[in-house]
Amino acid sequence: MTLHYRIIILLLFSTSIVAAQTWRHNHQFQITTENDCYISLSSDGYYTNGLILSLQWMPGKKDELKTKYNSFEWSQMIYNAEDGSYDFEKIDRPVTGYLYCGFQQKVYTSKQNLFKWSLSAGVIGKPAMGEEVQTAIHQFWNSYRTPEWKYQLQPAWGGTFSMTWSPQVGKFDPSNEFDFKPVLGGSVGNMLVNAMAGAAFIFGRMNKNSATVFWSNHTGNSKNDRESFFYLYPAFYLKAYDVTVQGNMFKHDPSPLLGKLNPYFFQMKAGFMYAGNKFTIGYNAVYESKQSLKQRRPQCYGSIQMAVMW
């Protein structure tokens, strides 16, 4: 073999290695399902069921200083009293569905700081179809009927703008098996108004901010890119408005079952995540203080996330 051909083969081989190292998945479809039965089969109330569908992609134009992800999201959440079988005299939390869709963008700087914003439009009450979905689920499992829905909140339409910021603490080192992520955020609109401060404590193997399953943007395709970690994520919320508790912001809801908003809200997540070359999976258990001060107790539920990438 002549020197000329050897050089060509070497160049092709080197190019294939570089391409394998730099190529990344840039599309993702994720399903998140949430239910209190993922914690206990004897629990069925408050935030009793949720389904979130998300389609995410990286914009075609590459930016050397920033990494961006865009996504569309659709979600339905269902809220009952402490027990879904209660009738009027025992209902301690407003009953409603919350249906919304929206657009979200995540931007990571060259220092791996995250800035995320989203804009969504949604509805509560009968148009959110909470009654139909819960009734269908209970019929499928041959479970009890839920008489609470005749007292559900009146319909209310609106929008919410949300922001999240999470700076990279120190320089990222892939050999470290611990990471700390402070998180600040907030929402404003006629559906939700709140401010949030929290921190994630991560134990295990994870990628940098712009490529980790923790922020739902794992993009690796090699064995070295795989992630596997446990995490704790406490967060404190200062709430000014929640449409699922207080009803329509601009029109009085005549329901005698309106809630009384808890302005000091605490949430704790504890979970596990794994990301392979083509898919990710995660589970977390969630504890939340009372959303309405009229609730008899706090709530717990589980969340399962699954995603495929291409």
Query: pLDDT, tens digit, for every residue of 84-141?
Result: 888 888 999 999 999 999 999 999 999 999 999 999 999 999 999 999 999 999 999 8
281 vs 14, residue with greater confidence: 281
Residue 23 has pLDDT above 80, yes or no: no
Range scoring the smallest mean pLDDT among 44-48, 49-53, 68-72: 44-48
What is the per-residue pLDDT for 1? Answer: 54
Residue 16 has pLDDT above 50, yes or no: no
pTM of the model: 0.89
What is the per-residue pLDDT for 174? Answer: 83
Query: pLDDT, tens digit, for every residue of 258-275?
Result: 999 999 999 999 999 999
pLDDT confidence bin for 62, thresholds 50/70/90: low
Percent of the chain with pLDDT over 90: 76
Give the separation between CA 202 and CA 181, rounded to whole angstroms: 8
Q: In degrees rounded to 5, what are phi and psi of residue 142?
A: 55, 45
Residue 10 has pLDDT above 70, yes or no: no
- Domain 27-309 class? mainly beta
Give the separation between CA 90 and CA 246, rounded to whole angstroms: 18
Q: Which of 17, 47, 19, 21 is nearest to 34 (CA)?
A: 47
In the chain, what are the domain boundaries? Answer: 27-309
Give the separation between CA 248 and CA 242, rounded to whole angstroms: 9
Residue 15 has pLDDT above 50, yes or no: no
Query: pLDDT, tens digit, for every residue of 64-88?
Result: 679 999 999 999 999 999 998 888 8
Both structure tokens of 122:
């949604």
Give the separation between CA 263 and CA 293, rounded to whole angstroms: 9
What is the per-residue pLDDT for 91? Answer: 95
| Maximum CA extent, the chain | 91
- Residue 73 identity (one-letter amino acid): E
Q: Residue 140, exposed/middle/buried by CB under 10 A (0-12, 13-18, 19+)?
A: exposed
What is the per-residue pLDDT for 172? Answer: 86
What is the per-residue pLDDT for 43? Answer: 79
| CA 56 vs CA 30, 82, 103, 182: distances in Å | 8, 35, 10, 24
Instruction: Please give the average per-residue pLDDT across 152-168, as a whole number.
Output: 97
Q: In degrees rounded to 5, what are phi and psi of residue 140?
A: -60, -40
What is the per-residue pLDDT for 255? Answer: 83
41 neighbors 35 (Cβ within 8 angstroms): no
